[in-house]
Structure 1
Amino acid sequence: MSALPSSRTLNAYFLITWLVALVQLFSQQGASDYVSPAVSGWTLAATLSYAFMYLLPSVAIGHGLRWLLAGRKAFRRGPAILAAAAIVLTGFTQVLLFADCVIHKMYGFHVNGFVVNLVLSGGGIASLGVSHSAEMTAGAIALALVALQAAAWVWVLRRGAGDGAWRLRGAWAMALFLALTTGERIAYAYSEMSNYQPILFASEHFPLYQPLTFRNFAQKLGFKVDQATARSLHELEGSLSYPQRPLRVTPPDKPMNIVWLVAESLRFDMLDPKIMPNLWGLSNDAVRLEKHFSGSNTTQMGVFSMFYGLYGNYWFPMLAARQAPVLMEVLRQQNYQFSLNTSQRFTYPAFDKTVFAGMRTEDLHSLEGGAPAWRRDARNIDVLIDFIDRRDPARPFMTYMFFESTHANYDYPPEAEIFTPVLQEFNYRTGDFRAQIGQIKNRYINAAHHVDSQIGRMIDHLKKRGLLDNTIVIVLGDHGEEFMERSRWGHGAEFNRFQTSTPGVIHVPGRAPRVVTGISSHLDIPATLMPLLGVQNPPEDYSLGHDLLAPDFHREYAVAADWNRLAYIGDDFRVTFPVNAIGAAHNQASDGDDRPLAHADEAIASIRSAMMEIMANLARFSRHRG
């Protein structure tokens, strides 16, 4: 009967496994990871420590199993069980690292919950657009990695661990690991605080990288935190490909003005003749979108998606690059005048560094705090009307307004109260919201009625000045709002229709009124506006949307995102996927009426082609293509 290998022999095996993992991590790195001594040192420390971190489960289980088997002297199969466990665990780790490398090279992101769900729902690697021969090659490499681990096990056992070369001290190894990981994390946190981009971008090459930041803590301690604009991703990594191709633009002879109105948390069923009569009236002379979805259940990504026409996940590279949407760039190039107003602020979320990056400070007008939200909304409409009256009539103009009244606590003036009873004392701490939800919703409806009155003021002024016939008017919500129709209150928690669907009204001069009863998305807004500005490129060059004015407009599904998830929204199913690897199996599925499904397998299987399309789109504009 062969004896169990010693702890030192086991450590020797894990050392070889760690070296193989290092090779795989180094294969994902490039010259940008070693542009300076500081970046080189950080990359090396992170590579050494993360290669060990990925193996920690195998190390812990291997040593734990050895300890258990060592107490069973008569158990003959102990060595074989330990060998099988060590080889399978480490082999699986190596295969995962290899698969991550392949996915990262193909799509520009690491293995995440979306990828896992796509593969496990049938079709395997072929679902990712890989040919059969490539699939066979990948399988052969995976088998080779497992075989390499088996060979390493055999070699270590034959070599033995008695000589000094294998006398590995676990305490020293752990101390080295802690020193490396502590150093790289502190360096990352400092880089994030000081906006040192090379290290921030280098971290993106490590799957499951867990950043440490202390920007807010450093500010409280009095340290200077660099708020300078980050350099473009084009300069640092060449990973942003937006737009895909240079725009070909023939400006119209008579450019139209644009009035863009967005209301906080304004959900689809507020577009009602009683609640919002002014918007309803406008919608009868416009394109009315009856099943319209935001690109998110949050303000940040909802507003982002309507200006960029991209999934909310693109917020992060656009913010890092301080890249404005091409729509706004085209407007600037065509000498538009701007008045951009909000009853909240432009700095959080950081719309001043994304949607409105590069705009003149004097064109950004925010009113936050102080007066009630309904009064700030009314004041902002005053400012916009004044801007329209004082503008240069020889140049086109673009105005943007973000209404805050429909955000909890749902503020409105007395004359806007059309639904009663309402909850008078709105206290988050003491309220019984389940019992009071009807009264809370009435407050929300009254706030929407007030927002409608301000929209009406704007429309009436455009008519009075004879401008409506030459002005595109867009009215949207940033996202929806739920009042426990599906067990939640508010937004940001789920991707059901109540939290993601908003009114969609687009008035385009010269276009016949039309009602779109199928699915539409915030992603479609840039693809609709850009042709009206003379952009000749097809929408796929700069967005993931479609032209709502096209006679053949049709969308099979919408996509919404938040910080950690992505949602497919179709007529028959809603499926939510995590976009990180942790919790990959915890996807949620519901039917077309947002009722939970017991098993998501059927829904996932039915949307396979959409999943493949969504995954390709996740990185389409974040890396250069040949």
Structure 2
Amino acid sequence: MVERKKQMSRDRVSRLINWGHWFAFFNGLLAMIVGTRYLSGVGYPETWYGWIYLTVSTIGQFSFLAFIAYLICLFPLTLILPYSKILRGVAAILATLCLCLLLYDTIVYADYGMHLNPFAFNLAWADLNALLHGTSYIVTPLAILILELTAANFLWKRIDKIQKMNLGHKVIALVGVCFISSHLIHIWADAADINDITRYDEAYPLSYPATARSFMESHGIDGVPLAQGSNHSSELNYPLAPLQCQADHHTNVLLITIDSLRTDMVDPKTMPFLYQYTQQNQSFTQHYSGGNQFKTGMFSLLYGLQGSYSDARIFNSASPVLTHNFQQAGYQLGLFIPETNLNLTSAQAMFNDFTPFVAKEALGSADADLQSVANFRQWHSQQSGPWFALVNLKAPENFDTPVGFLGIETVQARTALKPAQKVLFNQYRQSLHFIDNQLQAMLAKVPQDTLVVITGVSGKIFTSNSDEALSNLSPASVKVPLVIHWPNTLSGKVNYRTSHYGLVPTLMTQVLGCTNNTTDYSAGRNLLQPSKETWIYIGDSRIFAIYQQAEVTVIDRHGKYRIYDENFEQRLRKKMSAPELIQVMREGRRLYHH
């Protein structure tokens, strides 16, 4: 008798476990349906292999999440409370909570571009009323609970029939194949740089697809990118509305961008020409780049958009509205740039409207800059109609000077530096002095009625560690000079805070006569008036900083954040300011919502 009771108990538990597996599989299917909401922000594949990956990845990921949820929440209860009525009710409630959490995560992801984490949860909690509309947040959980109770009872009553069909092993095999093959496909896509697959890396929660690029490179296997097919992207609208522009007069424009140019280094000893030029023209003393490296700094300058947009597929084909409208207005566009910088940007269409004059870097960045200046001067002398030129100089990025360059005397840095930093500091000054000479040579032949803009692509910290430079978002890395020479306009200092995002709206309205609201095509406002925003977004989607009035918040893609004082010298033990950060995250998704 005792043995029979034990056997009955084992049979009941076994039946409950079988039921639990099928209940988990059913919830995996529901999770896949809810998970399609993530794709509205990322977009759908444009190639057949993209669809294959998305299909197997979706089946594998959400089935895996459902099974893990079952293993953690329901399986222990099956052993502790092996009573079907209790277990079915508890399972339905737990499944409802998990699906509601997943649904809430899709809302947060659509609004902020990140999954739930402590940072995103704090933002979402502060912005709850805006995220949850009407009574759906009450009706939806009730509807899901009813569905879960119905499914739980349906499966329990038919679990014996289902078991006799011997489908379990086939389902497990299908899910296992999908899960493993999604990782194998991603390994290939990562090595071959297949954007139609890798752009889904962070679309689903708790997704960590396998990569093998370093392994393949160490074995001498090179990734060869496949043809990407159409670069058209329907999920992001840029610009939001057709632009209405009518240039009254064709002012020539010269935009000079200098890699790694710090504001505090423009002084009479290091850069005497540029220092004097800032005194004679409009100088923006509190100006910030949109990033701490070339691709984010240049993207923010030419597109006027946050770096979080820079990986969007549309920018593989959509050139900046700034250069497009200069071209439409009959301007000749010339680009003078080192060869490595030309290929460094993530937005492949950034320079499409220009005629490029590419400088070779075989003898270093400084030699390439000499070529660029010579190319510009020759090109400029041949122009008969209106023109827009972008000259990009790179020597300071590599602390470089040409062979035989006679530099300036070394000086003591204003701040305490380590011995290795002192060497880099003074070498950096030599490089800036070389650049200063090139600015003087370029501008000597440029007429006074030309609109000239000189700025840094990003700032510079004194380190040879590239990883440290990439992750550093302090003012030294992002605060740059901005000087504008307006034809027939007096000089002056602008002391309110400005950023790279403001250059596009300024040129579009002041030179091209565009009447659209600047929010149609930019995150910035006209530089000639203070911005209403009390923050500046600096960085990309992986790590970024929010510069506010009295503090700087640095956030990584996992939602971990640190808050520093405005000079980045002291870490502040405080919580983030949710209202402003909500505005920031909304701006980073605004172009997706129309």
TM bracket, shorter-chain basis: 0.7 to 0.9
Structure 1 partner of 2:528:
549
Equivalent of 1:418 in 385, 389, 409: 409
Equivalent of 2:442 in 436, 439, 458: 458
Equivalent of 1:45 in 56, 61, 77: 56
- Once the two structures are TM-superposed, the CA of residue 520 in structure 1 deviates from its matched residue by 0.8
User: CA offsets, 1:179-212, max 9 Å, x none?
Assistant: 1134445556777889988777788864565566
Structure 2 partner of 1:441:
425
Change (3 A) 1:34 1:622: closer
- Percent of paired sites with the same residue: 18
* Alignment pair present for 1:392 and 2:376: no
State the distance in 2 between where 1:352 and 1:19 align: 36
* Alignment pair present for 1:377 and 2:373: no
- Once the two structures are TM-superposed, the CA of residue 536 in structure 1 deviates from its matched residue by 1.8
User: CA offsets, 1:216-270, max 9 Å, x none?
Assistant: 969975886445674321xxxx2221111111111223x1111111111111211
Structure 2 partner of 1:401:
391
For residue 268 of structure 2, what is the amino acid of its counterpart? Answer: P
8 Å CA contact 1:101, 1:110 repeated in 2 = no
8 Å CA contact 1:527, 1:543 repeated in 2 = yes
8 Å CA contact 2:292, 2:538 repeated in 1 = yes
8 Å CA contact 2:284, 2:498 repeated in 1 = yes
For residue 436 of structure 1, what is the amino acid of its counterpart? Answer: A
State the distance in 2 between where 1:298 and 1:386 align: 29
- Once the two structures are TM-superposed, the CA of residue 354 in structure 1 deviates from its matched residue by 2.6
State the distance in 1 between where 2:92 and 2:407 align: 70
Structure 1 partner of 2:106:
101
8 Å CA contact 2:247, 2:512 repeated in 1 = yes
Instruction: Spell out the pairing of 1:308-327 with structure 2 (5 A cutoff).
Output: 308-317=303-312, 321-327=316-322
8 Å CA contact 1:288, 1:515 repeated in 2 = yes
Structure 1 partner of 2:242:
246
State the distance in 2 between where 1:143 and 1:596 align: 48
State the distance in 1 between where 2:408 and 2:91 align: 69
Structure 2 partner of 1:179:
177
8 Å CA contact 2:400, 2:428 repeated in 1 = yes
- TM-score of the superposed pair, with normalisation by structure 1: 0.79
User: CA offsets, 1:484-530, max 9 Å, x none?
Assistant: 7xx99963212221111111112121333221222111101101111
Change (3 A) 1:308 1:37: closer
Instruction: Spell out the pairing of 1:269-418 with structure 2 (5 A cutoff).
Output: 269-317=264-312, 321-350=316-345, 353-359=348-354, 363-389=355-381, 391-393=382-384, 395-411=385-401, 414-418=405-409
The DSSP-based 3-state class of the residue aligned with 1:482 is: coil
Change (3 A) 1:600 1:344: farther
Structure 1 partner of 2:475:
497
Number of aligned residues? 574
Gaps of 5+ in 2: none
State the distance in 1 between where 2:150 and 2:574 align: 40
Structure 1 partner of 2:140:
141
- Once the two structures are TM-superposed, the CA of residue 109 in structure 1 deviates from its matched residue by 4.3
For residue 240 of structure 1, what is the amino acid of its counterpart? Answer: L
Change (3 A) 1:23 1:195: same
State the distance in 2 between where 1:44 and 1:494 align: 38
User: CA offsets, 1:106-145, max 9 Å, x none?
Assistant: 649453659715436x5242254x55xx3x4224424654
8 Å CA contact 1:471, 1:509 repeated in 2 = yes
8 Å CA contact 2:310, 2:540 repeated in 1 = no
* Alignment pair present for 1:265 and 2:255: no
The DSSP-based 3-state class of the residue aligned with 1:461 is: coil
State the distance in 2 between where 1:598 and 1:81 align: 49
State the distance in 2 between where 1:114 and 1:258 align: 46
Structure 2 partner of 1:588:
562
Structure 2 partner of 1:58:
69
State the distance in 1 between where 2:523 and 2:587 align: 8
State the distance in 1 between where 2:118 and 2:263 align: 28
- TM-score of the superposed pair, with normalisation by structure 2: 0.83
Equivalent of 1:13 in 18, 23, 29: 23
For residue 455 of structure 1, what is the amino acid of its counterpart? Answer: L
State the distance in 2 between where 1:307 and 1:34 align: 28
The DSSP-based 3-state class of the residue aligned with 1:45 is: helix
The DSSP-based 3-state class of the residue aligned with 1:102 is: helix
- Once the two structures are TM-superposed, the CA of residue 283 in structure 1 deviates from its matched residue by 1.2
- Once the two structures are TM-superposed, the CA of residue 547 in structure 1 deviates from its matched residue by 0.6
- Once the two structures are TM-superposed, the CA of residue 609 in structure 1 deviates from its matched residue by 3.0
Change (3 A) 1:87 1:79: same
8 Å CA contact 2:310, 2:347 repeated in 1 = no
* Alignment pair present for 1:535 and 2:538: no
State the distance in 2 between where 1:555 and 1:416 align: 42
The DSSP-based 3-state class of the residue aligned with 1:491 is: helix
8 Å CA contact 2:256, 2:392 repeated in 1 = yes
Equivalent of 1:618 in 540, 565, 588: 588
Change (3 A) 1:202 1:499: closer
State the distance in 1 between where 2:324 and 2:167 align: 60
For residue 165 of structure 1, what is the amino acid of its counterpart? Answer: Q
Change (3 A) 1:211 1:332: farther
User: CA offsets, 1:349-386, max 9 Å, x none?
Assistant: 14782321244xxx212224321322221222122112
Structure 2 partner of 1:426:
none
Higher mean alpha-carbon deviation, 521-530 vs 159-168, is at 159-168
8 Å CA contact 2:292, 2:470 repeated in 1 = yes
Gaps of 5+ in 1: 423-432
For residue 329 of structure 1, what is the amino acid of its counterpart? Answer: H
Structure 2 partner of 1:428:
none
State the distance in 2 between where 1:164 and 1:228 align: 44
8 Å CA contact 2:74, 2:91 repeated in 1 = no
State the distance in 1 between where 2:174 and 2:539 align: 39
- Once the two structures are TM-superposed, the CA of residue 475 in structure 1 deviates from its matched residue by 1.3
8 Å CA contact 1:7, 1:63 repeated in 2 = no
State the distance in 1 between where 2:37 and 2:281 align: 54
The DSSP-based 3-state class of the residue aligned with 2:496 is: strand
User: CA offsets, 1:249-301, max 9 Å, x none?
Assistant: 11223x11111111111112112222211111111222211111111112111
